[in-house]
């Protein structure tokens, strides 16, 4: 069993990609396999809100009506409840004709800085450049009002795939890792419609009537692996959300995520380099128990690195104890001597208070083990 390494989900509390690379690369370079650019520009620190361009071009009726209450800056796009709930069909291809997700543009801009810093010796040579991307289902279900989702999803999916292909054409594969951020999928499988009292329709499925929601969600996740070239690293961030520092559900155990991991491992016909799961600090043993033994066996056989997102910025002793619980739990399972696992924050830290984000960095550096460089 190999306990080593730290994973960062994506967003970081810095003003630029260069600052992110320099600050985190300096603090955690020996503990990371992959380094994200911090999602600093164009609203990416608020995760997928950077995709709000979907609502431009005079068609704000696509927008989920509750978004403007959580993110007031979106109200400047002229969204009204009446417009957002309009039932009329639109010429969706025309509405979205000029829209581009832009993840390739942001990634290539950041990669140039990443490459320069590596060449100058300011970043560890083993580090890969990590690009974290919300899934199409996440974008559509969190940003688009319910009655337009089934029409918008295939168009957005096509555009995002083209974007990911362009990204892989621009960035050397030996330097690149792509992470899929999966929150909407987990919410739908958990049958959670949204953040109750705030955004009640966020995760309402738009699939055909009678469809198997879990199968629809996971099938989409599996298909995303086929977009990534075999020599580019692939990972999944299985997420319970972090809106207002709260998950959309306080899961009592990891059974849903374990089942998703098993399905991904059984159906993805390429390497799967890492999986990240959030882990609440209370009752760690009970929470992690459903991972054994099937999911861990699959991860071990695939040499997939499992990152436990249990680092909280101000609870170091609890994190230390949780690591020991996980270590003993894994060590007591015969046959898992080669399991690779490490630690992480529960989600991105770009929206957390600076002192808490610094705490995540400091705790991981003190409690993790450096990576084995190859």
pLDDT for the residue numbered 197? 61
pLDDT for the residue numbered 298? 94
Comparing C-alpha atoms, which of 45, 68, 46 is closest to residue 55? 68
pLDDT tens digits, one per residue of 219-274: 999 999 999 999 999 999 999 887 767 778 888 899 999 999 999 999 999 999 99
pLDDT for the residue numbered 88? 62
What is the percent of the chain with per-residue pLDDT over 90, rounded to a whole number? 60
pLDDT tens digits, one per residue of 260-271: 999 999 999 999
CB atoms within 10 A of CB 332: 9
The chain-wide mean pLDDT, for the chain, equals: 88
pLDDT surpasses 50 at 325 = yes
CB atoms within 10 A of CB 314: 12
Return the half-sphere exposure (C-beta side, CA atoms, 13 A cut-off) of residue 144.
28
> Which has more confidence, 266 or 350?
266
| Cα distance between residue 21 and residue 114, in whole Å | 7
> Which has more confidence, 229 or 371?
229
pLDDT tens digits, one per residue of 70-92: 665 555 444 444 444 455 667 88
What is the percent of the chain with per-residue pLDDT over 70, rounded to a whole number? 87
* Strand intervals (E) in the chain: 2-7, 34-36, 128-134, 176-182, 233-238, 274-278, 305-311, 340-345
pLDDT tens digits, one per residue of 11-44: 999 999 999 999 999 999 999 999 999 998 777 8
The alpha carbon of 249 is separated from its chain's Cα centroid by a whole number of angstroms, namely 17
Q: Are strands 305-311 and 176-182 parallel, antiparallel or unpaired?
A: unpaired
Place of tokens 């520092």: 245
Asked whether 209 and 219 are in contact (CB, 8 A), the reply is no
pLDDT surpasses 80 at 291 = yes
pLDDT for the residue numbered 83? 45
pTM: 0.93
Fold of the domain built from segment(s) 2-367: TIM Barrel (3.20.20)
């Amino acid at each position: 069993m190999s306990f080593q390494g730290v994973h960062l989900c994506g967003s970081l509390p810095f003003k630029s990609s260069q600052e992110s690379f320099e600050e985190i690369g300096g603090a955690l370079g020996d503990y990371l396999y992959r380094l994200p650019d911090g999602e600093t520009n164009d609203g990416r620190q608020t995760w997928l809100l950077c995709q709000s361009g979907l609502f431009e071009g005079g068609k704000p009726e696509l927008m989920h009506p509750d978004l403007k209450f959580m993110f007031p800056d979106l109200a400047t796009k002229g969204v009204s409840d009446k417009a957002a709930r309009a039932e009329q069909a639109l010429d969706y291809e025309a509405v979205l004709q000029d829209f581009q997700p832009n993840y390739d543009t942001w990634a290539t801009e950041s990669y140039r800085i990443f490459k320069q810093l590596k060449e100058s010796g300011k970043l560890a040579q083993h580090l890969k450049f990590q690009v974290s991307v919300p899934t199409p289902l996440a974008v559509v279900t969190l940003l688009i009002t319910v009655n337009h989702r089934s029409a918008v999803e295939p168009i957005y999916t096509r555009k995002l795939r083209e974007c990911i292909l362009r990204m892989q054409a621009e960035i050397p594969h030996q330097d690149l890792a792509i992470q899929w951020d999966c929150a909407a999928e987990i919410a739908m499988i958990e049958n959670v419609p949204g953040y109750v009292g705030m955004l009640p329709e966020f995760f309402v499925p738009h699939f055909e009537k009678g469809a198997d929601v879990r199968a629809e969600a996971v099938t989409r996740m599996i298909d995303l692996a086929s977009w990534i070239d075999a020599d580019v690293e692939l990972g999944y961030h299985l997420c319970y959300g972090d809106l207002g520092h709260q998950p959309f559900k306080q899961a009592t155990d990891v059974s849903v995520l374990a089942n998703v991991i098993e399905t991904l491992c059984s159906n993805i016909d390429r390497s799967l380099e890492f999986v990240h799961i959030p882990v609440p600090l209370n009752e760690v043993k009970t929470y992690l128990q459903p991972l054994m033994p099937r999911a861990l066996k699959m991860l071990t056989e695939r040499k997939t690195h499992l990152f436990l997102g249990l680092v909280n910025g101000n609870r170091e002793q609890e994190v230390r104890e949780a690591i020991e619980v996980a270590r003993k739990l894994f060590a007591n399972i015969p046959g898992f001597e080669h399991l690779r696992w490490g630690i992480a924050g529960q989600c991105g830290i770009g929206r957390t208070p600076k002192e808490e984000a610094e705490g995540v960095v400091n705790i991981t550096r003190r409690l993790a083990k450096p990576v084995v460089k190859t």
